[in-house]
Amino acid sequence: MSGHGIGATDTLPAMVRVQRPDAFRWRGLANQNPGGLSFWELIREDFGAHGRVPTPGFRAIAVHRFGNWCKGVHPRVLRSPLDLLYRWMQRRVVRRHGIQLEYAAEIGRRVVIDHQNGILVQSLSRIGDGCRLRHNVTIGRRRSGDATCPVLGSNVDVGVGAVILGEVHVGDDAVIGANAVVVEDVPSGALAVGIPARIVRRAAPDHDAVRAESCAATTDGSRDDSGELAVVDVR
Ligand SMILES: CC(C)(COP(=O)(O)OP(=O)(O)OC[C@H]1O[C@@H](n2cnc3c(N)ncnc32)[C@H](O)[C@@H]1OP(=O)(O)O)[C@@H](O)C(=O)NCCC(=O)NCCS
């Protein structure tokens, strides 16, 4: 049987087979912890953001930071046991606290996870600095197999039970109401509520100016930044 490629799965012991999809995604990914700070400085900052209390949210983020830090460890013979330790810790956090931060998700600085249970941030999602997530928040793909995940700007406040799906951009300082289902972009500083999320309040003009500038700077044309939310009800 072939020694590499998907066909090699059959030759692996059962335990390794279970972890194989993750192992594939793991390979080649860079450390996605925010740059400019060491691992311990990041942990210290996260601890401070969580009120200097080792809450489940802090633990989940610390394990996520550790998993990403592991990617930068060389040689591989040292990295592999650290990866295994990370996987064990991550599963423990999922089991005990119900917080699943997939390792390829990008978590910014001072992100706070209030409470626990039912929190999922899928791979490739990006959470900006200073965001706040509450329990039962899901940030991930719109359909299984999609490659695109949401991008949250800085200081986004995500209410309990909110769901943010697909290729959406949530601007800086936006607020997502409890139980909202966001499937379209939310401008900076806006308040989005309901299913599907509609904007009930927009930001002060300076937020819109910043947003317009960033849209103008987008040159690939793959996103329609003019549309904002499909259903817009602005007071
Ligand atoms: C979104 C939120 C921040 C809005 O607070 P606010 O700034 O005081 O906004 P308002 O109360 O003026 O609400 C504006 C409109 O949105 C509606 N609205 C507010 N929150 C809503 C929600 N979660 N779902 C649907 N509609 C909502 C209000 O009914 C109001 O509609 P109206 O103008 O037709 O009357 C707040 O309602 C919320 O959902 N917070 C989540 C916080 C959270 O998760 N707490 C859990 C702690 S563990």
Q: 122 and 37, same structural domain?
A: yes
Nearest CA to ligand 1 atom 2: 177
Helices marked H in the chain: 14-26, 39-49, 56-71, 76-97, 205-217
- Number of H helices and number of E strands within the chain? 5, 15
Number of residues that this document lists for the chain:
235
Does 9 fall in a domain? no
Residue-wise pLDDT for 33-45, tens only, equals 999 999 999 999 9
Choice from 156, 170, 179, 200 to test ligand 1 binding pocket (greatest atom count within 8 A of CB): 200
Domain residues for the domain of 58 are 31-201
Which of 181, 177, 136 is closest to 159 using CA atoms? 177
What is the count of structural domains for the chain? 2
Q: 140 and 87, same structural domain?
A: yes
Does 18 fall in a domain? no
How far is ligand 1, taken at its centre, from the CA of residue 221, in Å?
34
Q: What is the residue whose two structure tokens read 């900052």? A: 45
Q: 217 and 135, same structural domain?
A: no
Q: 105 and 71, same structural domain?
A: yes
How far is ligand 1, taken at its centre, from the CA of residue 131, in Å?
18
Residue-wise pLDDT for 218-234, tens only, equals 544 444 444 444 334 45
Reported pTM: 0.79
CATH number at residue 195: 2.160.10.10
Q: Confirm or reject: Cβ of 181 under 6 Å from ligand 1.
A: no
